[in-house]
Structure 1
């Protein structure tokens, strides 16, 4: 049976959320038994979208937002082979964003935009409070509901809007984007990231990030700025820092200038410039020095790897080039590599350098949408 990765992702996501039909369940089991590529997709999605935290989210979804609503539009189509999400990270964010505020941050519950159908986004998009999807990247001014959205040099800004109106900016794999918030704060957003933000600040300045973003916060001592992350919050006055939540089990915050405090259920950590914290729920966060060259390099159009496991590099490749990366052995996943990946350079260029490692090879499948990293005896 031919493998359609988009179709497999849809079936697995429905299986994880518990809404898969008996017929589709049988189809999925057959594919998993007969097709190694289907099984690899199943493994990756279960690793990223399951666990105790996701279990609690799914339970709350049943109470707060029936998952079936998310698939309403998809099921109206004649063909079921639609793309559920641009990446696992975005798929997860689209499913849980409507309830994560209540679960983790009961004191921060703005009015969220209506959930949108999972889409195969090829461009940056802004989901407006009424659920409309505004596609970005054209550089043209757009006016919606009296709000004027402008793009200049790849940076979004707008005039108009109300503080209770929350919009969701979705940056797909292979893209990055920048936004200027109403208070003058500038945010650079990495690939496969969502930023939830008010269209106007009132008594507070609060946003939420799922993925990676760099903040240059406009200083206002009377109105602190807060960035909500999974199971933690960063509180700042005026500063520049990076947040990274790509790993569902870890939150990374690195401070370039100013001062920030990471607030968690396991204690707080005050950061000074040049310090970072990698927080794992259940462990008290502690600050330590970090290498700014590797952490901030993505903003300059490249990634720096220093003795980095291939498993982590594979995640960067997937986000940067919008491909699936399948690692065919534990030995390959655990190998480490030091190099530089240019975002605008062809993927093959980096993979050829990667082959200089002993026992590492690569192979494209399904056109150029899947990359296998192989162990070469």
Structure 2
């Protein structure tokens, strides 16, 4: 077979190529490895075709060139409208896909979302640079306070006066005094990941290590030198400790000591506190422009989308709320994320300027 003139869509519809992607054996591995050695310029075409096959893995027997082209056009359309939120964007699975939704299990959806989202990012060929603190940011400075703010979908890394590093999540604000002494203090609204530098005491009165304090509307976090994540949204504070040790000070003057791998959730209105062991990297993955979802409901995912992208999410069909969603979700582009959800969960997603409807 002469594959030199094949496009990615044609390769993805070729039975022998599909078999190699889904059920490789020694013969097909040897063939395609040698073919790529002699046609190195086709490497990107082969990779695009391979990713498209993976996107259609639950419809293997019906991989036609028309279906592959349709998928490619939908992804391309998503990228074209990216950056134009005022337009209405429809992200809808095909009739055949919608019909097969009811045969899916929650486990299948969890497995597919990982491959699907990774493929969408590859195919979109989009790169989004994380803004450095001195670029493209709203920074307010007075004689008394410095304030860093992020907008919808933005992630920013900044260095504090003592050399500590902070990654500020979307729709968040960090405020601090321009001059720091022994006591280092910041005020956080939203979410941030802190890597705190150990600083020795600078006075006879304070001969130990310089204290670092994060103030939120719900609680106070006191550290010396450590790495941790703090979220203060929706009347709830969540603190996850990656390394070192921290002390939480609640409004009731209750003090809680945390060890690495622990999470503390505090709800202000109910004054309810929960402490448990978790995988810290799950809660700080956002600083790498991705979310690690661990059996999240659609409502929980919708809330996270609202917090990050400043949009309102409405779920009109509650039958889609059943079951958990797991996987790694890239978060640099909201349109790509929504396209992935529409294809994976077999739902219709409509986006306008500041509203997303799932039905």
TM-score range, shorter chain: 0.5 to 0.7
SS of aligned partner of 1:311: helix
Q: Identify the residue that residue 127 of structure 1 maps to in structure 2.
A: 140
Q: CA deviation at 1:344?
A: 2.6
For this pair of structures, how many residues does the alignment match? 215
Alignment of 1:122-271 (within 5 A): 123-129=136-142, 165-220=144-199, 221-246=208-233, 248-266=234-252, 267-271=254-258
Hey, what's the Cα distance between the residues in 2 that align with 1:177 and 1:349? Answer: 20
Q: CA deviation at 1:242?
A: 0.4
Q: What TM-score, normalized to structure 2?
A: 0.55
Hey, what's the Cα distance between the residues in 1 that align with 2:319 and 2:250? Answer: 35
SS of aligned partner of 1:214: strand
Is 1:305 equivalent to 2:293 in the alignment?
A: yes
SS of aligned partner of 2:345: coil
Hey, what's the Cα distance between the residues in 2 that align with 1:284 and 1:325? Answer: 27
Q: Identify the residue that residue 272 of structure 1 maps to in structure 2.
A: 259
Contact 2:262–2:280 (CA under 8 A) maintained in structure 1: no
Q: CA deviation at 1:280?
A: 1.7
Q: Which 4+ residue blocks in structure 1 deviate beyond 4 angstroms?
A: 319-322, 329-335
Q: CA deviation at 1:240?
A: 0.6
When the two chains are superposed, the root-mean-square deviation of aligned CA atoms in Å is: 2.5
Task: Give the one of 282, 286, 292 matched to 1:294.
Answer: 282
SS of aligned partner of 2:170: coil
Hey, what's the Cα distance between the residues in 1 that align with 2:318 and 2:195? Answer: 39
Q: CA deviation at 1:203?
A: 4.4
Answer 1 or 2: which has greater helix percent: 2
Cα distance change of structure 1 residues 276 and 347 upon mapping to structure 2, 3 Å threshold: same
Greater Rg over alpha carbons, structure: 2
Cα distance change of structure 1 residues 349 and 190 upon mapping to structure 2, 3 Å threshold: closer
Q: Identify the residue that residue 315 of structure 2 maps to in structure 1.
A: 327
Hey, what's the Cα distance between the residues in 1 that align with 2:160 and 2:255? Answer: 27
Cα distance change of structure 1 residues 128 and 216 upon mapping to structure 2, 3 Å threshold: same
